[in-house]
């Protein structure tokens, strides 16, 4: 990538950025503008040392004793999922005992959808979802329905019209707050209220929300949610995911994967499942200590972050990118598909382009790493913890250069 002179007004925006110092807490490879933190967050610098400690010290030296070592201080491996849950809870407006960490987002979607169906009113047999929802959400709903003898209907409708479909036959509403293609953000609070007024249980996928902007599940009175550890939470490839279950559902919601690590006393080795208090009951099997440790350490980057400042910066970055790329739409077949309205935008900007796949390949070649998504989407993710307006400017110039070179 050639070195460009960054204009003063970009540098001025960066000079006023209250989160500017956070960038130094990440390893960002040279010669690259990395706009894919919505798929795999960058590496926080503190993670490798933690992993070295966990592998050499806790695994290598302390061995099996690490499961209980430091339990009095809450430092044992057994409680690691709970410690990570508490850190995520702060970012999504939940109480610590309403969050469980482990497994993938897909598996957690299965768990909370099953739980939601278990607390839904009698006679309701529809799972309502966005026709363009992320595939895993659709597939998990299909799989769960098959397991239940295909007694349910998966009703797929456009997310923008969801209100019109909140009927008396709907058991659960399964929605992803920020669309992975367009970056369109749904009003979680308003939709939750409308659904609940119709007796519908809500399940939110926060994959592109958690760590990208403040989420207030308690304030919204949401029922259930899931999210990824490896995107905006920067927990590393395949990081454990999280689920949220509102306290009021803990007693009644079924635990579909009732494993021994969700038992009230795993080492009692009892014959029957007695759930642990709170959302811990949803932790099915042995905690993934190495990846949980990486996520635990990565979350400490958020410890002193004001989430409102994070949101303000995210919007400034995406506004700047939209403004800089706008003149190109007049010259090239580039169409903005991300809402300009702040309230309806996540932390990414996407465009349609007839040769999106090839354009993204050229951009990646030029060191601007974003994503191509079928059928014709160019997607650029912005992570307010480590991006600067200078990055945004370089990325926009890169888009211009690639489009010009292709004509």
Ligand X SMILES: Nc1ccccc1C(=O)C[C@H](N)C(=O)O
Known catalytic residues are 134, 205, 230-231, 379
Are 129 and 179 in contact by the 8 Å Cβ rule? The answer is no
Q: Which tokens in the block code for residue 322?
A: 């939209």
Cβ proximity to ligand PLP, 104 vs 142, nearer residue: 104
Among 180, 242, 382, 393, binds ligand X (CB under 6 A): 180
Q: How far is the CB of 99 from ligand PLP (least distance, A)?
A: 16
From ligand X, ligand PLP, none, which one binds at residue 205 (CB under 5 to 8 Å depending on kind)?
Answer: ligand PLP
Applying CB under 6 A, the span of 26-34, 103-111, 144-152, 255-263 interacting with ligand PLP comes to: 103-111
Q: Is 209 in the site for ligand X (CB under 6 A)?
A: no
Q: Is 134 in the site for ligand PLP (CB under 6 A)?
A: yes
Cβ proximity to ligand PLP, 26 vs 134, nearer residue: 134
Q: Is 351 in the site for ligand X (CB under 6 A)?
A: no
Cα 333 to Cα 21: distance, rounded to the nearest angstrom: 37
Cβ proximity to ligand PLP, 105 vs 318, nearer residue: 105
Are 196 and 171 in contact by the 8 Å Cβ rule? The answer is no
Q: Is 224 in the site for ligand PLP (CB under 6 A)?
A: no
Buried b (16+ CB within 10 A) or exposed e, 34-58: bbbbbbbbbbbeebeebbeebeeeb
| Sole residue written with tokens 């996520």 | 295
Are 186 and 177 in contact by the 8 Å Cβ rule? The answer is yes
Listed residue (8, 3, 22) closest to 386, CA to CA:
22
Give whole-number Cα distances, 400 to 34, 321, 339, 366, 393, in Å.
17, 12, 21, 12, 11
Which residue sits closest to ligand X, CB atoms considered? 180
Listed residue (181, 180, 135, 177) closest to 156, CA to CA:
135
Applying CB under 6 A, the span of 98-106, 321-329, 341-349, 396-404 interacting with ligand PLP comes to: 98-106
| Sole residue written with tokens 């209100």 | 163
Q: Is 350 in the site for ligand PLP (CB under 6 A)?
A: no
Cis peptide before 326 (omega within 30 of 0): no
Q: Is 141 in the site for ligand PLP (CB under 6 A)?
A: no
Q: Is 209 in the site for ligand PLP (CB under 6 A)?
A: no
Q: How far is the CB of 229 from ligand X (least distance, A)?
A: 10
Window 29 to 48, contacts with ligand X (CB under 6 A): 39
Q: Is 382 in the site for ligand X (CB under 6 A)?
A: no
Cα 136 to Cα 279: distance, rounded to the nearest angstrom: 23
Q: How far is the CB of 379 from ligand X (least distance, A)?
A: 8
Which residues fall in the annotated binding site for pyridoxal 5'-phosphate?
A: 105-106, 134-137, 176, 205, 208, 230, 260, 286
Q: Please report, as ranges, the residues that interact with ligand PLP according to CB under 6 A.
A: 104-106, 134, 136-137, 176, 180, 205, 207, 228, 241
């Amino acid at each position: 990538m050639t070195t460009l002179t960054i204009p003063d007004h970009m540098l001025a925006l960066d000079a006023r950025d209250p989160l500017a110092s956070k960038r130094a807490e990440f390893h960002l490879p040279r010669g690259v503008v990395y706009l894919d933190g919505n798929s795999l967050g960058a590496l926080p610098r503190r993670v490798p040392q933690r992993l070295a400690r966990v592998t050499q010290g806790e695994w290598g030296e302390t061995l099996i004793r690490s499961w209980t070592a430091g339990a009095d201080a809450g430092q044992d491996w057994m409680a690691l999922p709970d410690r990570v849950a508490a850190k995520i809870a702060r970012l999504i407006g939940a109480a610590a005992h309403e969050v469980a960490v482990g497994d993938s987002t897909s598996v957690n979607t299965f768990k909370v959808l099953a739980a939601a169906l278990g607390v839904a009113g009698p006679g309701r047999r529809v799972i309502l979802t966005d026709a363009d929802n992320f595939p895993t959400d659709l597939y998990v709903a299909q799989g769960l329905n098959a397991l239940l003898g295909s007694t349910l209907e998966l009703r797929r409708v456009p997310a923008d019209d969801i209100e019109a479909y909140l009927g008396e036959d709907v058991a659960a509403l399964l929605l992803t707050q920020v669309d992975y293609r367009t970056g369109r953000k749904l009003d979680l609070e308003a939709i939750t209220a409308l659904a609940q007024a119709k007796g519908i249980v809500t399940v939110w996928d926060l994959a592109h929300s958690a760590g990208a902007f403040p989420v207030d599940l308690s304030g919204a009175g949401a029922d259930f949610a899931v999210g990824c550890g490896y995107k905006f939470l920067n927990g590393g490839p395949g990081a454990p995911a999280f689920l949220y279950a509102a306290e009021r559902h803990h007693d009644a919601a079924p635990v579909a994967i009732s494993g021994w690590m969700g038992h009230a006393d795993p080492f009692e080795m009892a014959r029957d499942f007695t759930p642990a208090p709170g959302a811990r009951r949803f932790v099915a099997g042995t905690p993934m200590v190495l990846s949980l440790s990486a996520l635990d350490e990565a979350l400490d980057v958020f410890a002193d972050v004001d989430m409102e400042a994070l949101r303000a910066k995210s919007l400034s970055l995406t506004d700047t990118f939209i403004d800089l790329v706008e003149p190109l739409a007049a010259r090239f077949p580039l169409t903005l598909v991300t809402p300009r309205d702040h309230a309806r935008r996540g932390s990414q900007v996407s465009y349609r382009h007839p040769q999106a796949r090839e354009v993204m390949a050229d951009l990646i070649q030029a060191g601007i790493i974003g994503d191509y998504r079928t059928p014709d989407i160019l997607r650029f993710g912005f992570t307010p913890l480590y991006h600067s307006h200078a990055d945004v400017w370089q990325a926009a110039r890169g888009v211009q250069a690639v489009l010009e070179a292709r004509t």
